[in-house]
Structure 1
Amino acid sequence: MKQFLCLFVLLLVANCDESNQKSAPKNIEITEEPQNESLDYQKLFYTNSDFKTKGFDFPVGKPNAVGYYNAQKFQENNHLGDDWNGVKGGNSDLGDPIYAIANGYISETKDYEGGWGKVIRIVHLLNGKLYESLYAHCDSIVIKQNQFIIKGEQIATIGNCNGAYYAHLHLEIRDSVDMDIGGGYSTNTTGYIDPTEFINKNRK
């Protein structure tokens, strides 16, 4: 009888232990791929290394902006870019070619209308860091989104936003890619770089 009672107690304890194991929560490690656009571009350039940036040139009058002048410089009147105009003034540069300032990947071609007009955005990888060049007020765009581009290749022509201003190219360089389009003017320059200064420092 004692043996039977001991056996019953052992079975009861074992059953309770098994039940506790089934109901106990398990530690599950969940890993997610970081939702980081930078990481995606890094991978993209890693597998297409010929399009990594080797140096920068100016976007008009290539490679040295011959025939153009910087009519409104970075942070002049809180400007977030450079405005390139033809030296003859007015609409003399309407339809002139715009060139990619460096090797890169065309992340966006879009008509924002209003004060921006047609815009091109190109992502560049220089010495392991991502940058973005933005070209605004284009009259026509001659390349397509989601393609690679090489420095000095024509990407667009200079426009005037359907007569909103005299023809010119608004150029921005950003060290934070895929930001909102923004407003072109701000006292806050976070994410923006002086284009002329940056290009001159990275000529090749």
Structure 2
Amino acid sequence: MKILWGIIIIFLTSFSSRKQLVPNNKTNYLQESIETQDKYTKYDSLFNKYKEFIVTDFGFPVGKPNAKGYYNAQKFKENNHLGDDWNGVSGGNSDLGDTIYSIANGYVSFAENIGGGWGNVIRVIHKYEGNYYESVYAHCRTIKVKEGDLVKKGISIGTIGTANGQYLAHLHLELRDDIFMDIGGGYSKNTKGYLDPTKFINEN
């Protein structure tokens, strides 16, 4: 009899514990959903207030409007590259100091020198057809915008650099559909969150 009662108690205790896990899991899931929504609240409010900075179309970051005088020296996915490398057709440092243009209307979320292989980096958030995208411009010689600026497509945001002499002058451009990722490493087999910049620009 004692053994039977022991089994019943263990069963009831186990059942009670499992019941308690369900609400907790739901709470965690809901909390994560709310946190994700909260991340976008800032940008939803911003672009609702400044609707003229919502994207209508995209353009190239060099040789406005269609990259005239430049070529894509290392394309997206080539050698696991996560962006496009734009170089002047004359090669070498011939494009050093050339203008970098914002590829679309948007909000400057970051504009600083982070050193290493990145140098000066500009990050711009874009709202387009109800979705958010981020363009990343790296190795800049100069930065002409600051965090918090609203920019229009085709405005000068910086100049082409060498990441403090680490490379020959070029612009490393990334385009992401996950706007909350870390800066990353520029190369990876995992392309989740990244888009082919040239293909996207041509299609939009």
Deviation at 1:40, TM superposition (A): 1.9
Which of the residues 71, 74, 87 maps onto 1:72?
74
Deviation at 1:115, TM superposition (A): 0.1
| Deviations, residues 122-178 of structure 1 (Å, cap 9, x unaligned) | 000000000000000000001111110000000000000111110000000000002
Contact 1:139 1:156 in 2 (8 A): yes
Which of the residues 105, 111, 114 maps onto 1:112?
114
Aligned counterpart, 1:154: 156
Report % sequence identity.
60
Cα distance in 2 for partners of 1:104, 1:197 equals 19
Unaligned runs of 5+ in 1: 1-29
| Deviations, residues 59-89 of structure 1 (Å, cap 9, x unaligned) | 0001100000000000000000000000000
Aligned counterpart, 2:83: 81
| Deviations, residues 31-83 of structure 1 (Å, cap 9, x unaligned) | 98933322321221111101000000000001100000000000000000000
Aligned counterpart, 1:25: none
Instruction: Give runs of aligned pairs for residues 113-128 of structure 1, distance below 5 A.
Output: 113-128=115-130
Which of the residues 184, 187, 192 maps onto 1:185?
187
Cα distance in 1 for partners of 2:132, 2:170 equals 26
Secondary structure of 1:171 counterpart? strand
Aligned counterpart, 1:54: 56
Cα distance in 1 for partners of 2:167, 2:134 equals 25
Aligned counterpart, 2:202: 200
Cα distance in 1 for partners of 2:41, 2:92 equals 43
Q: For this pair of structures, how many residues does the alignment match?
A: 173
The answer as to 2:102 corresponding to 1:100 is: yes
TM-score under structure 2 normalisation?
0.82
Cα distance in 2 for partners of 1:165, 1:81 equals 16
Cα distance in 2 for partners of 1:72, 1:184 equals 12
Contact 1:38 1:177 in 2 (8 A): no
Cα RMSD after superposing both structures = 1.6
Aligned counterpart, 1:34: 34
Aligned counterpart, 2:12: none
Secondary structure of 1:34 counterpart? helix
Aligned counterpart, 2:140: 138
Which of the residues 163, 176, 179 maps onto 2:178?
176
TM-score under structure 1 normalisation?
0.82
Cα distance in 2 for partners of 1:42, 1:88 equals 42
Runs of 4+ in 1 over 4 A off after TM superposition: 30-33
Q: What code does the residue aligned with 2:164 have?
A: N
Contact 1:73 1:79 in 2 (8 A): yes
